[in-house]
Each structure stands twice: as structure tokens, then as C-alpha cells.
Amino acid sequence: MKKYLFIFLSILLVSVTYAHGFKFMGGLNLSKYAVEPEENGIEWKNKTGFLAGAGIDISLVPNIAIEIDALYFQKGSKRKSAVEDLDYILNVISVPALLRIKFLPGPSPYILGGGEFSFILSHKIYEEDIEEEDIKEKTKSFDYGLVFGAGFEMTMPGASIFIEGRYNIGMNNIIKEPVGDESMKTMAIVVIIGIKI
């Protein structure tokens, strides 16, 4: 864990040296687990969560930039069955590295895409808002995946405001010791509002 934190801080320090904009952002997400094998009578549904953090822009050429963020991200899923309804809450520090392409100078729509690496902080199961089980020891310490999205940036003197949507697709099986083909992967639809200075 310390090694990953050192690598992250080193990348962040180098990136800040070449940064052309600092971003502060927050938002909401609908997240869900993709669980295999599927079990009869059990449904995995979306759970609402939130995220907040900051990022930096590194301009490559006009209208094209690399964005590196550090976000506190609350993911998870609802597990519904005839017997009980459970909430899984997965708290992570997410570090997406994205390529962003604006269509026009000034106020403009844009698209973005790239990868995400997450440090898993905690993983708990709740029933009716009461903690039932802490499953961090059964969960890997990291996750990774792909991120795609689009947004719109509005400029004003000294700053700009943006709103964007992202789709996060987890590629890692977060179960530490899966049995057979047992798998649990994350996915999330995110709406972010922020300011860049």
C-alpha cells in the first residue's frame, strides 16, 4: 500500500509542475456490481453514492489535455432477494488519468476517456442502515478499470465551470480469494460539477 501511495504522490508532484489548470469537483453516481455466477432470486441493483476531489490539467496542444484526478469515491450496490435487502458500500480513493478533447476554443463540449486506478479503503455490508459485516479482508486492496465520458465547459474571467458525465467500468475482480469462477466487478454512472482555475 505504501509503495502505491509513493508512486501516486510522485506522479502527482511531477504533474503539478506542468499543470495548466487546477480543478475542484463533486458529484453523484449510480453504481452497481457485476456479479458472476448469477444466483436465482437475487438481483444486484444500482446504489446512489457521491464523490469529491480535485484534479489537474496538463495541456498537450490547444483543445487537448491530460487530466489526472484524485477523488474520494463511494461505490457499491444493492443486493435484493426474497429473504433480505442488503447494501454494499465500497469506499475508494480513485485516481483517473484521462485524455480530454474539446471541440472548440472557449465554451465548448468535450469528450474524455482513459483509465482509473483505485485504492480500496473499506467494504461493508449494511441492512436497513445497520452494519452487518465488514468484508474488507475478503476484498482486494485495489481496483482498476476504464472511464469514458463527455461534458461541457463554460469559461469566465479567471476560471471556468464544467459539468460532465462519466461511465466507469471496473475490470478487476475485487474478491480477494474467489472460488471457481466467482467474480465481483464495479461499474458506475457519474455526474460531476466543478470549477477550474
- The CATH number covering residue 133 comes to 2.40.160.20
Which positions of the chain have pLDDT values less than 50? 15-18
Q: Are 102 and 108 in contact (CB under 8 A)?
A: yes
**Rounded CA separation 90/142 (Å):** 11
Query: Given this model, what pLDDT does residue 17 score?
Result: 43
Q: How many domains does the chain have?
A: 1
Domain that holds residue 165: 2-196
Task: Report pLDDT for 5.
Answer: 53
The pTM (predicted TM-score) of the whole model is 0.85
Altogether, the residues listed in the chain come to a count of 197
For residue 168, give the amino acid letter: N
